[in-house]
Structure formats: structure tokens, C-alpha cells
């Protein structure tokens, strides 16, 4: 169940990657992977970021963990801007903020047994004795559905779904508060996906976790999220409670994404909105509205003026001139 205490707040976050060229490798231009997004996540809530590949959602997750050092903005955890923390202080805090990746296999050292993989973060953070660590490992393995005897095996001896269980155990063994799930079930078969999603929901309730769920799959997002933010070209286009976003999308981009979801009701007639063209180059975004080159509703104003991102209904935010005009 969600509470209303804000645990994580992202303010005007930007992450620009320099594009270097020439003999001196001077930055010629910048890829604006994340271009000024803001959102907050309440304790025990699941907030999801959706959008096409390259929209900046994964870079946002990695920037929160400072795997990419943000270009500017604020990331407040429990009210404190963690971008001001020294490397030492951030390392101490890092156990609270964990990440689960799409491909657990590439993030698991194949030469280590599951037990060693789970022991490693505990010893790195020096938070318990070896005996306590062993007890904790058995307990977390049990929680994610791995038998005691399986922890002496190596990652290659497991199926994709079981490997993701190891990835989850590795993230949770440190008792984090916030877990960032970056396409965590995207590589799995649909039936295994459902098992892992249900496991994540159970673990959230039991361990009182707060999730930032990053995915391109709108069906999965609907199943797990309390609120959803829709990103395009590094910016937030729309953000609302899940049911409201799915039943009453306002932004033309959100409408097009939702129109592509197959309906579970075969009698329902759905009009698919096909977007023209590709996502523009984030090092050379269009003038005005970032979505205007693909937007079926684009008009003159969209070319010259960037729409304001504003709250147009209770807890429902959108960046589109059509809603500037209504309000």
C-alpha cells in the first residue's frame, strides 16, 4: 500500500553526454539523454517510467545511482540532495539504493557461486559478520524462491527466470529502501515474466520497498504501477496515476503508445495511432515541442514554443499546447 511520504525526489535532472571529435577530442556537441525531468516517488510506491528505446528512462535510473554522473539537477533522498554527497558518503548510502538489470547473466560473475555473489555486497559494505551474512543469504534466497542447496551452484546452471531471482536476491540482500528495476522482466518469456512480477509485488509488500520501474512494456507497467511517467526525447510528456493515464491519456504521444497495446477484449474496436518517422537525434532536438515532428496534432505554435509541463488535473501533468489552451 502506498503512503504519501516522499522518499525520492528528482528535480530538473539533466544528463548530457559529450560527443567528442577531432584530434584533441573536444566535445563538439552533447547528446541530451535526459533533459530536465522532475518526479517524486512516495515510500512503498511503484513509479514507472515508460517510453520508446532511447527516451532517457534507463539513463535516468542510472543517474539516480550515479552510475552516470548527472550534468545538473537535484536528487533528493529523504530530503537530502545526494548529488552533494562525497564519494565516501554516497558509498555508505548506496546500500539503500539498488538496481535490478534486464540481463542478470551479464551482471553476475560466472565464476562465482550464488552464495559468493550474494556474500560479496555484504562484505563490501561491511555490514555484518560472516555468520550473519550466511544466515541472511539463506533467508533472502528462500524469499526469492531459491532452495538452500541451489546457492552453491553457478549462474550458468540456472534458467533465465531463476537467474533473475538471483539478480533480485543480490539487490535485496542489503535491505535496500529503493529498488530501480531497469527492464527487469523484458528478456523473460511471458509465463516467467508473470511469476517474477508477482514475486516483485510480494517482496515489495513484505519488505516495504519503493520501486522505480523502467520499462517499454505498457501492459507490464499497468500491472505493477501506482503512477506512471511517459518520457520522450529525455523529457517528461505526461505523468498521472496509472488508471487515469490508461483510461484518459492527454498527450498525443501517450495516446499513440496506448493505442498499440492489443486489447484483451476481442470485440473492442481500437484505432491504432501510427507515428510517422523515428525519434529525432537527441543531440539535435527539434525546436518547440520535442514531439512535434511525429505528432498528428502538431500546429504552428508547436514549432516555435516549447509547451509548459503543467498539472492540468489533480496529479495529472502534461506538456502539450492543446492543454495550455484549455486551461
Contact positions vs ligand SF4 (CB under 6 A): 251-252, 289, 291-292, 295, 297-298, 302, 307, 320-322
Q: Do the beta carbons of residue 238 and residue 229 sit within 8 Å?
A: yes
Residue number with CB closer to ligand SF4 (56 or 176): 56
Minimum CB–partner distance for residue 307 and ligand SF4 (Å): 4
Residue number with CB closer to ligand SF4 (89 or 311): 311
Residue number with CB closer to ligand SF4 (161 or 252): 252
SS3 of 323, please?
helix
Q: For the CA atoms of the chain, what is the radius of gyration?
A: 21
Residues in the chain: 327
Residue number with CB closer to ligand SF4 (265 or 325): 325
Grid cell in block for residue 31: 547528446
Distance CA 128, CA 135 (A): 10
Minimum CB–partner distance for residue 40 and ligand SF4 (Å): 24
Minimum CB–partner distance for residue 8 and ligand SF4 (Å): 28
Residue number with CB closer to ligand SF4 (180 or 320): 320
Please give the distance of CA 196 from its chain centroid, rounded to a whole number.
16
Grid cell in block for residue 35: 533533459
Distance CA 232, CA 35 (A): 10
Minimum CB–partner distance for residue 112 and ligand SF4 (Å): 48
Minimum CB–partner distance for residue 273 and ligand SF4 (Å): 12
- 142-161 exposure pattern, b = at least 16 Cβ within 10 A, e = fewer: ebbbbeeebbeeebeebeeb
Residue number with CB closer to ligand SF4 (6 or 322): 322
Of the candidates 218, 253, 247, the one whose C-alpha atom is nearest the C-alpha of residue 233 is 253
Minimum CB–partner distance for residue 295 and ligand SF4 (Å): 3
Phi, psi at 292, each rounded to 5°: -65, -30
Amino acid at each position: 500500500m502506498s503512503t504519501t511520504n516522499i522518499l525520492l525526489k528528482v528535480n530538473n535532472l539533466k544528463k548530457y553526454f559529450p560527443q567528442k571529435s577531432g584530434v584533441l577530442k573536444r566535445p563538439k556537441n552533447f547528446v541530451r539523454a535526459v533533459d530536465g525531468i522532475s518526479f517524486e516517488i512516495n515510500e512503498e510506491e511503484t513509479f514507472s517510467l515508460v517510453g520508446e528505446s532511447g527516451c532517457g528512462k534507463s539513463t535516468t535510473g542510472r543517474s539516480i545511482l550515479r552510475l552516470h554522473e548527472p550534468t545538473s539537477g537535484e536528487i533528493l533522498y529523504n530530503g537530502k540532495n545526494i548529488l552533494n554527497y562525497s564519494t565516501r558518503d554516497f558509498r555508505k548510502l548506496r546500500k539503500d539504493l539498488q538496481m535490478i538489470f534486464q540481463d542478470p547473466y551479464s551482471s553476475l560473475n560466472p565464476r562465482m557461486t550464488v552464495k559468493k555473489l550474494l556474500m560479496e555486497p555484504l562484505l563490501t559494505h561491511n555490514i555484518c559478520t560472516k555468520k550473519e551474512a550466511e544466515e541472511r543469504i539463506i533467508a533472502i534466497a528462500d524469499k526469492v524462491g531459491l532452495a538452500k542447496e541451489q546457492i552453491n551452484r553457478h549462474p550458468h546452471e540456472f534458467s533465465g527466470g531463476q537467474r533473475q531471482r538471483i539478480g533480485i536476491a543480490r539487490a535485496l540482500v542489503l535491505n535496500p529502501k529503493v529498488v530501480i528495476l531497469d527492464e527487469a522482466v523484458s528478456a523473460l518469456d511471458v509465463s516467467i515474466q508473470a511469476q517474477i512480477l508477482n514475486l516483485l509485488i510480494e517482496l515489495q509488500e513484505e519488505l516495504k520497498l519503493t520501486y522505480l520501474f523502467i520499462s517499454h512494456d505498457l501492459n507490464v507497467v499497468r500491472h505493477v504501477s501506482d503512477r506512471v511517467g511517459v518520457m520522450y526525447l529525455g523529457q517528461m510528456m505526461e505523468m498521472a496515476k496509472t488508471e487515469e493515464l490508461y483510461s484518459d491519456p492527454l498527450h498525443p504521444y501517450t495516446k499513440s503508445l496506448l493505442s498499440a497495446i492489443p486489447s484483451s477484449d476481442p470485440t473492442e474496436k481500437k484505432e491504432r495511432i501510427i507515428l510517422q518517422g523515428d525519434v529525432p537525434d537527441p543531440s539535435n532536438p527539434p525546436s518547440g515541442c520535442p514531439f512535434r515532428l511525429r505528432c498528428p496534432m502538431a500546429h504552428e505554435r508547436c514549432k516555435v514554443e516549447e509547451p509548459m509541463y503543467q498539472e492540468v488535473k489533480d496529479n495529472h501533468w502534461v506538456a502539450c499546447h492543446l492543454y495550455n489552451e484549455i486551461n
